[in-house]
Amino acid sequence: MTAEVDRAALLAAAAFRQYATCPGEARARFLRTIADGIEALGDGLIDCVSRETALPAARIAGERARTCMQLRLFADIADQGKWNDERVDAADPARTPPRPRICSGLRPIGPAAVFAASNFPLAFSVAGGDTAAALAVGCPVVLKAHPAHPETSARVGGVVAAAVASCRLPAGTFSVVTGSAHEVGLSLVRHPLIKVGAFTGSLGGGLALWRAAQARDEPIPFFAEMGSVNPLFVFADALHKNAEAVATGLHASMTLGVGQFCTQPGLVFLVADDAAHAFLQRLATLVSATPCGAMLSETHAANYRGGVAGRVDTDGVRVLGRGEQADAGRAAGAVLLAVDAETFVTNPRLADEIFGPTTLMVTCASTADFVRCAEILPGQLTATIWCEGDADRDLLWTLEQKAGRIVFNGFPTGVEVGAATMHGGPYPATTDCRFTSVGTRALSRFVRPVAWQTPA
């Protein structure tokens, strides 16, 4: 266990009672102060994020707005006490046996370990959704900064620390721990004073942390969002009517942010006919004209290029289109691949995620193959159906068992922050399919029910 982790966990545990029991309006003021402070950093923050991540300024500005909106939305919930789900069962002394009076409500679990994501350096990082959700309900946060954007993390962490001081909250309400070694994160989730954890990132990283959380003497809830290939199913009637819209929209979705979204559509299923052939030619043309983009780091880019090379070398996989390519540094080029349904169902590795701007088109003999292919998919964050009229019932049922969000006649990139949002899904998309990491339901990961019973 590192000294930095131990100190942060001790401070968080010492702060827990005071922070958890302070009025909701005090936590709301804290979250709003953080949002104000992030905005006050101005263009300097945007320049810093862009320098560290290669993300464009417009994207970063939008992410900053989302981050501050989340903080203020969760502040409103804290202020109004809407998260605690208070319930009362009235006493009935005349019943045999007498029924006691029972009231219950949600209470914060305790100090939370939050892990910042590489691909969202603001919205899923130091003051992102996980941090805001935990703080809104009264859980002190120990934040593990991502090594890919250390200066960004320091600047935003400074804003949160200043808000702790100005709102006169206990020092351990929020802490940042740093370091690129895996042991830092593992020691944080293993610390006996940490009571809950949240993570957004890779399957390997999420599973390592989740397993450590479960192997403790006192296992704790650990919510890991670990990615998805986000299958998209295009029925012939929708393709015949909307071929150009689907092609341009799919191209934009698969290459958005150089494909570095957990909701990037990595698999597309369609019935092989003349319209599908023309559609694939059009999509290949769009992909071939795509310029190279800079990924978040050289490691991300190298992993992407290796993943694509391995898939291209797979029997039955063919290349439909390649954008501008590069073989070094952060640069990554879009690649469109194709395979037939028979090959797909016999090779489970073709359903693996490749983090970056590539999509595998699966050509099917009929729509019956849609259900057959969907049934072998692992858990997903999203699944999409393009169709005219009502969706196929068998496919819809199957996808409801596989994904947390079903998109109709659209594209999965972009996750709205709201009350009805679900950003989660069955394993391996997440470690617990009952919860979301986006939207107001995200707060429920950091609370537990407590009941108080008195005699009739």
Please tell me whether residues 385 and 239 are part of one structural domain: yes
How far apart are the two ends of the chain, measured CA to CA in Å? 50
User: Does one domain contain both 221 and 283?
Assistant: no
105, part of any domain: yes
The CATH number of the domain where 243 resides is what? 3.40.309.10
- Does residue 217 sit in the same domain as residue 249? no
- The catalytic residues are 225, 262
Cβ-proximal residues to 430 (8 Å cutoff; 6+ apart), any chain: 223, 224, 225, 226, 379, 381, 404, 424, 437
Cis peptide leading into 93, omega within 30 of 0?
no
User: What is the per-residue pLDDT for 456?
Assistant: 85
Distance CA 123, CA 67 (A): 5
Position 194 in a domain: yes
Q: Looking at the domain assignment, is residue 417 inside a domain?
A: no
Domain count, the chain: 2
Element holding 322 (H helix, E strand) = strand 318-322
- Same-domain pairing of 161 and 67: yes
Residue 405: exposure state from Cβ atoms within 10 A (0-12, 13-18, ≥19)? buried
| Domain contains 92 | yes
CATH code, domain carrying 168: 3.40.605.10
d(Cα 367, Cα 381) in Å, to the nearest integer? 22
User: What is the number of residues in the chain?
Assistant: 456
Q: 380 and 441 in one domain? A: no
User: According to the model, what pLDDT value does residue 1 have?
Assistant: 65
Q: Which residue has the tokens 């429920």?
A: 444
Whether residue 36 is found in the same domain as residue 183: yes
In a shared domain, residues 322 and 340: yes
pLDDT of the chain, 456 residues: tens digit per residue: 689 999 999 999 999 999 999 999 999 999 999 999 999 999 999 999 999 999 999 999 999 999 999 999 999 999 999 899 999 999 999 999 999 999 999 999 999 999 999 999 999 999 999 999 999 999 999 999 999 999 999 999 999 999 999 999 999 999 999 998 889 999 999 999 999 999 999 999 999 999 999 999 999 999 999 989 999 999 999 999 999 999 999 999 999 999 999 999 999 999 999 999 999 999 999 999 999 999 999 999 999 999 999 999 999 999 999 999 888 899 999 999 999 999 999 999 999 999 999 999 999 999 999 999 999 999 999 999 999 999 999 999 999 999 999 999 999 999 999 999 999 999 999 999 999 999 999 999 999 999 999 998
Do the domain assignments include residue 289? yes
Inside any domain, residue 413: no
Nearest alpha-carbon partner for 415 in 377, 443, 382: 382
Is residue 74 in some structural domain?
A: yes
Predicted local confidence at residue 67, as pLDDT: 98
* Amino acid sitting at position 42: G
Task: Mark whether 88 and 217 lie in a shared domain.
Answer: yes
Quick check: is 393 in a domain?
yes
Q: In this structure, are 210 and 308 located in the same domain?
A: no
Q: Are residues 210 and 236 in the same domain?
A: no
**The pLDDT of residue 181:** 80
Whether residue 299 sits in one domain with residue 156: no
| Rounded distance between C-alpha atoms, residue 239 and residue 259, angstroms | 23
Residue 327: both structure tokens together: 């073989």
pLDDT of residue 433: 97
Give me the domain span that covers residue 286: 232-408
Please tell me whether residues 444 and 372 are part of one structural domain. no
Q: By CB neighbour count within 10 A (0-12 exposed, 13-18 middle, 19+ buried), where does 118 fall?
A: buried
Nearest to 219, CA basis, from 83, 108, 109:
109
